[in-house]
Amino acid sequence: MRRAGRVDLTQGEIVKALRKVGAKVYVLSGVGHGFPDLLVGWRGENTLLECKTGDAGLTTEEKEFHATWPGKIAIVRTPEEAVLAVIGA
């Protein structure tokens, strides 16, 4: 089980990049139990983001959450991936 409060190394830079383009970002990494790290709002649409470092994969709880979540959710490893996942090309 993932411990609440564990933060991937990429998260800080991802948050900065998203805020720089004007997205509203709430950090949720402290929730744990498979819940994604970030809630991002952009032009009336919300996206959940799971931040990962390097080739790290999803935990069992994260996989379960992703499989059952009906909304927009993405795994991102870089600030560029995060911006693309939220605002598109």
Q: What is the pLDDT of residues 26-61, one digit of tens each?
A: 999 999 899 999 999 999 999 999 999 989 899 999
Number of domains in the chain: 1
Q: Is residue 5 part of a domain?
A: no
Q: β-pairing, 24-27 with 73-76?
A: unpaired
Residue 60: strand, helix, or coil: helix
For position 8, what pLDDT does the model report? 74
Region class of 69: left (phi > 0), else alpha (psi between -120 and 50), else beta: beta
For position 9, what pLDDT does the model report? 80
Nearest-Å Rg of the Cα atoms of the chain is 12
Verdict on whether the full-model pTM lies above 0.75: yes
For position 88, what pLDDT does the model report? 83
Q: Is residue 2 part of a domain?
A: no
Residue 22 is part of which domain span? 11-87
Q: Is residue 30 part of a domain?
A: yes
Distance of alpha carbon 23 from the chain centroid: 13
Of the candidates 42, 44, 43, 46, the one whose C-alpha atom is nearest the C-alpha of residue 28 is 46
